[in-house]
Amino acid sequence: MKSVIKSLAFIAFLLCGLNISAQKFAHINSQELLMSMPESDSAQIKIEQLAANYEEQLEEMQVELNKKYDNYLQNRENYTALIRQTKESEIADMQERFQQFESIASQELQTERNRLLQPIIEKANKAIKEVADEQNIMYVFDVSQGNPIYFSDQSIDILPLVRKKLGLE
């Protein structure tokens, strides 16, 4: 009976060892993949145009604020207390509007970036999953998220396969 248990344990150990060695690992640089997709170019152009529009508006607001402040500094000695207080309040309001616009513009730019890139990322992830399934790959590591300390030659770079799946080559 002991020999049967030992034999079963040995066979189970061998099967577990075979299962581990049969696992396939792969890696991909997802940033390189995304940048090679034509959809990324058009999305990036739209994002840059929106950012340029916001930047232009911010510059106009800054120029207007600077003019108002310079005018106040040049003439403050001639203003009565009430006029001085009114001008200071106007300048403070303009600064607040400038900061508010800057904050909202930044949020809207990020929202638009996410909206434009999400379908592209989903398309890339779908292709990665399909290639991994076709190649019986257990894990795919994204090497663009940082420098991996080490990956073996046995780890498959699936970037060419995913590009082919997406019709990019």
* DSSP sequence for 124-163: HHHHHHHHHHHTT-SEEEEGGGS--S---TTSEE-HHHHH
Residue 11 scores a pLDDT above 80: no
Digit-coded pLDDT (tens) for 139-167: 898 888 777 667 677 788 888 999 998 98
The pair of structure tokens assigned to 13 is 């150990």
Q: What is the mean pLDDT of residues 127-136?
A: 94
Cα 58 to Cα 97: distance, rounded to the nearest angstrom: 10
For residue 80, the SS3 value is coil
What per-residue string of b and e applies to 59-77 under the rule 16 or more CB within 10 Å gives b?
A: eebeeebeeebeebeeeee
Digit-coded pLDDT (tens) for 25-64: 899 999 999 999 999 999 999 999 999 999 999 999 999 9
Q: What are phi and psi of 77, to 5 degrees?
A: -70, -25
Alpha-carbon distance values, 111 to 37, 84, 103, 105, 118 (Å): 21, 41, 12, 10, 10
Sheet bearing 25-28, strands edge to edge = 139-142, 25-28, 156-157
Q: What is the mean pLDDT of residues 115-142?
A: 94
Cα 120 to Cα 38: distance, rounded to the nearest angstrom: 10
Architecture, CATH, for domain 24-165: 2-Layer Sandwich (3.30)
Identify the pLDDT of residue 18: 45
- Where along the chain do its domains lie? 24-165
> Euclidean distance between the first and final Cα of the chain, in Å?
61
Cα 166 to Cα 130: distance, rounded to the nearest angstrom: 11
Mean pLDDT is lowest, of 9-23, 107-121, 126-140, 153-167, for 9-23
Computed over every residue of the chain, the mean pLDDT equals 87
Q: What are phi and psi of 29, to 5 degrees?
A: -100, 95
